[in-house]
Amino acid sequence: MAAPTAINARHNHGLGQAATSGFFWLFAQSVSARLLGFFSQLILAWLLTPSDFGTIGLAYTITGIAQTLVSFGVDEVLLQRQKRLAQWSSAAFWISLCLGTLGMVAVWLAAPVAAYIYKSHSLTWIIIILSVAVPIRTLSIVPSVSIRLAMNFRFLATYNTFEIFAIQFGTIVFAWMGMGAYSFALPIPIVAVIKAAVFWSKSPPVYNRRIKAVQVWYVLGRSTTVFAKRAIVEIVNQGDYIVLGLIASKDTVGLYFFAFRFSVQPIRMLAGNLTNVLLPALAQLGSHPARQIDAVVRACRLLSYLVMPFCFLQAALAGPGLHLLFGQRWQGSIPLVQLLSIGLPFDAVFWIAGSLLSARREFGRSFRIALVSAPIFFALVIGGAWLHGTLGVATAVVIYYMSYPPLCSILILRSGGVKIGTILEFYLMPVLLAGGSIGAAYAVSLLPALNDHNLIRVMVISALGGSLYIGALYVFRRDMLMQLADRFQGPMNKMLTVMRRPPAPETGQIVVRPVPKQPAGRGTIAPTTEQG
């Protein structure tokens, strides 16, 4: 029994090391993306008008829902069939391509109807341009799953950074050329073609000539529940824009679109990339539920202590920062950014809890959670819009994200055996420490000697708020501070070490890599095997 135990220990450390390395690479990519997105957002805010932002926001209410056909759920099914990926690639590819093409045609038919409802004739061609990318994106689904199973997050991080840069650069160029709202749409299909070519070059799918009917029905059957869940989630994601588009002007929708796009970036940066790393690792831990839960708890705690200070700092900087950069031009978006930046981080833990359900193939449960969320969200948003217009919608969105996702996370994690006190700590302690630290720094910036100087206020809030938060962690949660420092200490040395490693094998076989011993407790997230 000693030999298998030793192998299992190496397996646990090996996959944990791969996941940790993957999170580091995707975190580095996220920081780069955050900076690119921030500066491009500033440039676009100068080149475009709130009406342009509003037009593209309304266009996404149609194409965003159609985009769920690209992520029909085939990728999650393939992640569960990792050991026989080559045998399922053909069925997955053709199903994805056919559904993507169907989605594009459906969007073409819906485009003039949406333009009529939103009273914006320019929407028709913007929606059509965006929809062209839908079937093209399906071409990269199978290679993307293969790369994720290989734990090659360095490649994913590098490409994601390039893709974000290409989209932002293209948008800025088209905006500079005077293309208005079309600036957001034109780069999307171009970058989709580039992604398909790059991913096929990196990980060419192995297709069987014959596709078995049982495979098609299995993929469709398993994917349908995932698709239904994703479709409902996307409708909820676009629900606030849909409601505002029906009652408000494009300028008003543009202010809200700008504010939400600005506020949600830390969540997508941290929670999105952590789940991309965690889901393949959790899927490989399917036969070890205790280790799955341990990985989820570690991830939830890490994410909470990172997301809360980022978002609260963003809320505090919104007023002086936007005034400093734009004067009164985007004044109407400031209270929206502040509200959304405080409410959206409460959704972060649910990203991890949702990954646990996917890894355990509890697709039906995920669907039921999404199904219940839709009427709750729309009731709040419609009520908020009726009471107080755009500000009421933002308030309703905050109430939703501060209540429903945390409640679902508690139910999911409790069913996995996590204690209620542990779950509440994910929310309460980071909120108290981050809120107290950033709030104190914001109060200092309001002193009469500083209040009229936006640049000084930005510097004081950033430096003092960050320092106070680190100090609060040192006093009240020193163990968490040490874990965060352990994750990110010496990032340049870590990056250089990873870059010197030979590239991962691309054979599609399971490779067990021996790793040197390290002290226990260094944040292992999962098992041992890597998909080569």
pLDDT tens digits, residue range 165-189? Answer: 899 899 999 999 999 999 999 999 9
Whole-number pLDDT of residue 13: 47
Least confident segment among 48-62, 92-106, 479-493? 479-493
DSSP 119-175: T-TTHHHHHHHHHHHHHHHHTTHHHHHHHHHTT-HHHHHHHHHHHHHHHHHHHHHHH
Half-sphere exposure of 174 (CA within 13 A, CB side): 18
For residues 45 and 329, the answer to whether their CB atoms sit within 8 Å is yes
> How crowded is residue 506: how many other Cβ atoms within 10 Å of its Cβ?
15
pTM: 0.75
- Residue with the two structure tokens 């449960």: 365
Report the alpha-carbon angle 180-182-187, nearest 5: 125
Dist. CA 313–CA 442, nearest whole Å: 9
pLDDT band for 530, please (50, 70, 90 cuts): very low
Dist. CA 20–CA 22, nearest whole Å: 5
Report the alpha-carbon angle 67-179-164, nearest 5: 45
Q: What is the mean predicted confidence (pLDDT) over 509-526?
A: 40
Q: What is the mean predicted confidence (pLDDT) over 517-532?
A: 36
